[in-house]
Structure 1
Amino acid sequence: MQIKKILNNNVIITTDKRNNELVVMGKGIAFQKKIGDEVTEGQVDKTYRLSNTDLSMKLQELLEDVPISYLELATEIIDCGKEKLNAPLNDSIYISLTDHLHTAIQRVKKKIRVPNLLLWDIKRFFTAEYSIGKDAVSVIEKRFKVDLGEDEAGFIALHLVNAQTEIDNDDVYEMTELMEEIIRIVSYYFKVQFDEESVYYYRFTTHLRFFASRIMNHRQNEGESDEELLLIIQKKYPNAYSCVEKINQYVTKKYSYFMSNDEKLYLTIHVARLVQKLGKCEEESS
């Protein structure tokens, strides 16, 4: 492995056999070395192969200003997120989360705290990500002797949400508003209040968040539509389907987004299961 660029004593840039650029980290990996020197695999602790050259360059620029310990911390959180969320995360999170953690920790050390206006929604809609954020705050307190608090746990959660849905931070506000409105439509239609601690509500909001992110990105589900299956579901859950049609009217009017048959089918099933647990929806037809 040949050194192409040295960022600091612990981080170098090299390439793989296909000439793809790699950011390689290892304690003292570049100490007393120069460009062109070789490093062994045994000196490597972590390798970052980012999805495109632009992200790789941004990470290099970031590491020139931010201590490597923050990238290590971000990587721990990201690895935890991939495992617990069982979902791929966009490579851009290595840059955004590293930068955020560095900024947040330095800011709190100066006794400056930024309130998270989305915290209530994050706790409600993104419970798994918020749990990871809380664990991260605990690790940070032990390692950096700084208590970031629950607001920052929420901000860390948002980075994990964004890395799954590929939307900008500003769009998260609109996405949560959309989710709120859909839940209001379902609640009003069936005249129910949901138990937000129930597993059924969690499953529903998990489905809803990805549906909402597709609307934000104008990416319709392009799966093969099975009209016959949709008709079966429509007959089986007529009230739930009727409710979904009201949701479809709402997103069409406000976002110019037309739900596919697949989206109607799966959302109908989720709505039916959710409200059936409250005894407010028709039983399944035989």
Structure 2
Amino acid sequence: MSSLQVSKVLNNNVIIAEHPQHGEVVVIGKGIGFNRKTGQAIPLAEVEKMFILTKPEEQEQYKQLLPQVDEKLIEAVNEILLHADQTSSGALNEHVHIALTDHIAFAIKRMQQGIHIHNPFLYETKEMYPEEFRMAEFAVRLIHQKLGVDLGEEEAGFIALHIHGALTNQHISEVRKHSELISDLVHIVETEMYVLLIRSGMSKPVDLGCFPHYWGNLTLSGRDQDPERILMPFWYLQNLSRKQDDPHAANV
């Protein structure tokens, strides 16, 4: 059998179907459920640009989530994840369909209620995961276009963490833990060493002479003429955090 057989239509964008290899699956795709009937066969070639949830636990969570969210959001998240899938080298973990849909639905609700959540890891996320952040910016633009809600740059940072977790098979809590470590290192260095960290535009190492051994070789900011206050590139903290995670990492 080279086709799916429709078991149940959940909405215009989601169906339950029998798959020739995986048995019962949830299929997510734009218009996949439109005018479909129970028992109807859908050639697998027609679902190439759609997502199939094969794990029973993911299917159940997704089915429970569906009645709570706008169908336009289901369609938007599907487009976001298709974009991420097509522009990245890795495969997305199935759970991102539940986690990201739930997260964005809650973010939209907060926005509509006038509740703003500060993202303390925005700079760190942009520097550590630039590819995922670009995907998240696409997500924010698409949601604004389809649902009329502008989630903004800080929310793009949260979405980027979800995408990174899906691409690396990490739970969002693990990804946030790494971002928190970076943020803590930034705070410690700035507080204890009295330095000003450059948080943007420094994702690639630059030639700073004998850095970090001879602080005097660093260039001072035009906005900060205090000779005791030294600029330090953000990438140095990224390398430092990797050493914390991996004791065998090379010295920076």
Check 1:195–1:122 CA distance in 2 against 1; reply closer, same or farther (3 A cut): closer
Aligned counterparts of 1:177 and 1:43: Cα–Cα separation in 2: 42
Gaps spanning 5+ residues in structure 2: where? 206-232
Check 1:198–1:98 CA distance in 2 against 1; reply closer, same or farther (3 A cut): same
Question: Conserved in 2, the CA contact under 8 Å of 1:29 and 1:39?
Answer: no
- The alignment status of 1:268 with 2:250, answered yes or no, reads yes
**Helix, strand or coil at the partner of 2:145:** helix
Q: TM-score, normalised by structure 1?
A: 0.60
- The alignment status of 1:197 with 2:201, answered yes or no, reads yes
CA RMSD of aligned residues (A): 3.9
1:188-213, CA deviations, whole angstroms, 9 ceiling, x for partnerless residues? 9xx9x7795345349x78x969x95x
Gaps spanning 5+ residues in structure 1: where? 213-246, 252-257, 272-286
Judging by fraction of residues, say which structure has more helix.
Answer: 1
The higher-RCO structure (CA 8 Å, 6+ apart) is 2
**Helix, strand or coil at the partner of 1:2:** strand
Aligned counterparts of 1:9 and 1:85: Cα–Cα separation in 2: 27
- The alignment status of 1:160 with 2:163, answered yes or no, reads yes
Aligned counterparts of 2:30 and 2:198: Cα–Cα separation in 1: 50
1:229-264, CA deviations, whole angstroms, 9 ceiling, x for partnerless residues? xxxxxxxxxxxxxxxxxx4xx55xxxxxx74xxxx3
Check 1:65–1:43 CA distance in 2 against 1; reply closer, same or farther (3 A cut): farther
**Helix, strand or coil at the partner of 1:114:** coil
**Following superposition of structure 1 onto structure 2, how do residues 1-286 of structure 1 map, counting pairs within 5 Å?**
1-24=4-27, 25=29, 27=31, 29=33, 31=35, 33=37, 35=38, 37-41=39-43, 47-179=50-182, 197-198=201-202, 200-201=204-205, 247=243, 259=247, 264=248, 267-268=249-250, 271=252
Check 1:208–1:76 CA distance in 2 against 1; reply closer, same or farther (3 A cut): farther
Amino acid at match of 1:151: E
Aligned counterparts of 1:107 and 1:63: Cα–Cα separation in 2: 19
Check 1:116–1:54 CA distance in 2 against 1; reply closer, same or farther (3 A cut): same
Q: How many residues align?
A: 216
Aligned counterparts of 2:49 and 2:90: Cα–Cα separation in 1: 21
Check 1:87–1:27 CA distance in 2 against 1; reply closer, same or farther (3 A cut): closer
Amino acid at match of 1:133: A
The Cα of 1:106 is off from its aligned counterpart by 2.8
The Cα of 1:159 is off from its aligned counterpart by 0.6
Q: What is the aligned-residue identity percentage?
A: 28
Aligned counterparts of 1:115 and 1:173: Cα–Cα separation in 2: 14
Judging by fraction of residues, say which structure has more strand.
Answer: 2
Amino acid at match of 1:29: G
